[in-house]
Structure 1
Amino acid sequence: MIKTMKAMVLTGHGGMERYEWHEDWPMPEPGPMEALVKVGACGLNNTDVNTRSGWYSKTVNEATTGGAYEAVAEEDPSWGGRPVTFPRIQGADAVGVVVAVGEGGDPALIGKRVMGDAWQRDWSDPLNREKAGYFGSEFDGGFAEYTKTDVRNLAVIESDLTDAELATFTCSYTTAEGMLTKAKVTSSDTVLVTGASGGVGGALVQLARRRGARVIAMASESKHGDVAKLGPDLILPRAPENLRAALDGEKVTVVADIVGGPYWPRVIDILEPGGRYTCSGAIAGPIVEFDLRTFYLRDLTFTGSTVTPHQVFCDVVGYIERGEIRPALAATYPLKELPKAQQAFIDKKHVGNIVVVP
């Protein structure tokens, strides 16, 4: 019986030097109601970058850079709400094959290809956000040859897509679907998506279109050709000087934002009265200028979105199996080259998701 595996291990907050490559890391053993999964591919996300760098700490107020910060409060919460302990194997978007199950797990899962809900729940109280943690953050994830998770988090996936293609979905698409669900987006809405060339931004474009909404995507002009493949109705530059003029009469009822930063007041200013703003990121900076008069005089609704119900993950799996959404796979790298892959992700030279393969 194999006892060790290859893994990329994060040893603490900081730069890329905090990653260590191991070829003899202890293989996880599935406990009660857990499954051991041989990882076929695992996607990269901003969560991996921000957890490694310590950006979630309240001592940090700048844009996501991917670099180390001078001061990180270790007691500050991670994306999942609790401090990260080290060493940690990151990677939320693991796709693979079940090779063993612990006590209480269904043996029929063995040999099945699966995707996992990244939110790890207390299944005696599954809707309790205080008891939820994130795969690859509070729990070891998929940047390794093997990983384990609760069998109730897994979905058997029936799809012709490759493991690498499937590994683009979990974090980005459940995050995006959670945002759109909270904002109650319907076919009567016009949705403005910031950062549309990224993983979550591209997912927002596809999922809002799936709901029948009109979609306006914002992205760097060099990436407009690739963003167009996702199907938005209109594409604007990343940060037009006069956003209202650039919209040319479009009436935006929902802003789905993952960017934040100094441009933030402009996307709020163009919301129609009664409009909704939903957010699950602030890559351009978490501190924004907020005019409360715009908020209350226009009867706006703001929602933050992090912990998504398990049903959202199940819905996304269904969309994949029915071909209603498609992967945006930008590049694959060997797991051993994770720092190189993450730097490419930070540099944003690609449109879509980057995946590592053990």
Structure 2
Amino acid sequence: MGVTETMRAVRIAEHGGPEVLALTRVAVPTPQAGQVLVRVSAVALNNTDLWTREGAYGRPDDPEALSGWRGPIDFPRVQGADVAGRVVAVGADVDESLAGRRVVVDPAIYDTEGPDANPVGLMGSERDGGYAEYVTAPAKRVHDVTESPLTDEQLATLPTAYGTALGMIERGRLRAGETALVSGASGGVGLALVHIARARGARVLAISSGPKIDAVREAGAHQVIDRARGIAEQLRAAAPEGIDVALDVVAGDLVSEGLPLLREGGRWVIAGALGGYGVHFDVRRLYLHNAQVIGSAMHTPAHFDLLMDLARRGEIQPVVAAAFPLDQAAQAQEELARRGHVGKIVMHP
């Protein structure tokens, strides 16, 4: 499985625009005890890549501070959380039968060992990621998907977008027969939410706009609400009985408008703030109706196991919007930032 000594990688040495992404040659990392070395076949892009590069996450004591996902970034950093590839070497104390297997890496760094651990770091932010020819990963975070009917590109789209979506759906306790609202439905997480909620047997109402509406309908939404027109009125007409679970990556004004549309005991799950992080709502709509507002960051190990089961069975069909070579990482991120696409953007090292 000859592994070379150096590899191409795209790193950032500071926060900034796409120009800080630098293609460079670095040593191939050596898998430590408990780790494997993965040759990257495909790496998918996420908003997390843009926000980590820009330092857009803020800090608890200073919302405007330049910061990575969970604090200061240790530069230089190889970006990229979402990796599909093949195991080419294993470190000490790792089952050697993993070598040669096609795998997806769970990019989360967890706070404890258990199945319900919380993610407190992310590959490509708190440790080096997959914008490279090779990446190391803990063996217990590497999932064998050799038998999956999905392509390497499709598998690479799963960890962050589908992991985040499944985390939202699990934390929101979405059940078959319930009505789910999905905001930002044409984005990576949004489309994943539509796919998984539909596979769960929920009735899916999705918010999108313009030319993307047809693609969201194709992904399985029962009804698409046009963001360009009054959202609340359209929702009342589409779900006169109310919404059971809102799966929201937009937040902002949508929370204030949407909370009164929840049914008794409804759940509003938030995993993003594309529409703004300052939110105002009437708290009476919360407690009088036993509603819940739930924050959801990515997934737990148990959620990721569920996701990999879906991938092995081919029960979800991720949409790949575009593919770029590694040396066009800046163009790929610019394409992502334009939000003109439906589905996920990937790169090939």
The TM-score by the shorter chain falls in which range?
over 0.9
2:133 to 130, 133, 145: 145
Paired AA for residue 142 in structure 2: L
Runs of 4+ in 1 over 4 A off after TM superposition: 58-61, 122-128
Alignment correspondent of 1:353 = 344
Counterpart CA distance in 1 for 2:140 and 2:126 is 18
Contact 2:179 2:244 in 1 (8 A): yes
Counterpart CA distance in 2 for 1:113 and 1:247 is 46
Deviation at 1:56, TM superposition (A): 0.6
Deviation at 1:343, TM superposition (A): 0.9
Contact 1:194 1:238 in 2 (8 A): no
Contact 2:165 2:298 in 1 (8 A): no
Deviation at 1:127, TM superposition (A): 4.5
Alignment correspondent of 1:7 = 9
Kindly indicate whether residue 11 of structure 2 is the aligned counterpart of residue 33 of structure 1: no
Alignment of 1:288-299 (within 5 A): 288-299=279-290
Alignment correspondent of 1:176 = 165
Counterpart CA distance in 2 for 1:171 and 1:9 is 19
Unpaired segments of 5 or more residues in structure 2? Answer: none
Counterpart CA distance in 1 for 2:112 and 2:92 is 16
Alignment correspondent of 1:116 = 105
Contact 1:91 1:142 in 2 (8 A): yes
Paired AA for residue 207 in structure 2: M
Q: Please, what TM-score do these two structures have when normalized by structure 2?
A: 0.93
Q: Please, what TM-score do these two structures have when normalized by structure 1?
A: 0.91
Q: Secondary structure at the match of 1:105?
A: coil
Deviation at 1:151, TM superposition (A): 0.5
Per-residue deviation, residues 303-325 of structure 1 (Å, max 9, x unmatched): 11115221211111111121211
Paired AA for residue 26 in structure 1: A
CA RMSD of aligned residues (A): 1.9
Matched residues, number: 343
Counterpart CA distance in 2 for 1:119 and 1:281 is 17
Q: Which moved more, 1:240-249 or 1:150-159?
A: 240-249
Alignment of 1:220-239 (within 5 A): 220-239=209-228
Per-residue deviation, residues 117-148 of structure 1 (Å, max 9, x unmatched): 11123665664537x42111111110000000
Contact 2:150 2:317 in 1 (8 A): no
Paired AA for residue 13 in structure 1: H
Per-residue deviation, residues 300-351 of structure 1 (Å, max 9, x unmatched): 1111111522121111111112121111111101111111111111111110
Counterpart CA distance in 1 for 2:180 and 2:57 is 27
Q: Which moved more, 1:236-245 or 1:95-104?
A: 236-245
Alignment correspondent of 1:311 = 302
Over 3 Å counting, the alpha-carbon distance change for 1:124 and 1:301 in structure 2 is: closer
Counterpart CA distance in 2 for 1:242 and 1:82 is 35
Contact 1:100 1:110 in 2 (8 A): yes
Q: Secondary structure at the match of 2:23?
A: strand
Q: Which moved more, 1:136-145 or 1:161-170?
A: 161-170
Paired AA for residue 111 in structure 1: G
Counterpart CA distance in 1 for 2:127 and 2:221 is 36
Alignment correspondent of 1:48 = 49
Contact 1:193 1:256 in 2 (8 A): yes
Contact 1:240 1:246 in 2 (8 A): no
Alignment correspondent of 1:325 = 316
| Identity of matched residues, % | 38
Deviation at 1:268, TM superposition (A): 1.8
Unpaired segments of 5 or more residues in structure 1? Answer: 62-70
Contact 2:106 2:159 in 1 (8 A): yes
